[in-house]
Amino acid sequence: MSSVNLTGSRATLIANIIASIVAFMIAVEVTYIEDVQFGYVLPNDTFLCFFPAIVMFLVRNEPLSCLFLVIYSIIFIDLLFVARDLFIGISRFSKGNDPLLVLVLFAMATGACLIAYFLISLMRLAISSSNK
């Protein structure tokens, strides 16, 4: 009987923990950007920042965790420059150029990966139970 490892490999666990820290920093940046640009902060945007990190902990796949960590880092650096520009008074916002849209697209792609993971897991479970 095989045991289930709750964290995946050690590298996966480290990538997931670092991604959670980066997700927290992205949530702070998003809160600052929305507060300065729009004057209010939507509470759902915090969940949007942490959703890919939650999916990383659920899936526990090393290549997927590393890919998501790289994407998280790119989004973090991009939002860091946007927050810096807003702080010094150079606004890059326009109707067609919303830097928070990348975070929304990343969350949507993460949701698609989570659905695919669950469907593949269900197919593997159905195949393994039919073989016994």
Mean pLDDT, the chain, rounded, equals 86
Say if CB 59 and CB 16 are below 8 A apart. no
Residues 3-30 have a mean pLDDT of: 84
What does the pLDDT look like over 42-64, one tens digit per residue? 888 888 899 999 999 888 888 88
Q: How far apart are CA 75 and CA 89, in angstroms?
A: 21
Residue 81 has pLDDT above 60, yes or no: yes
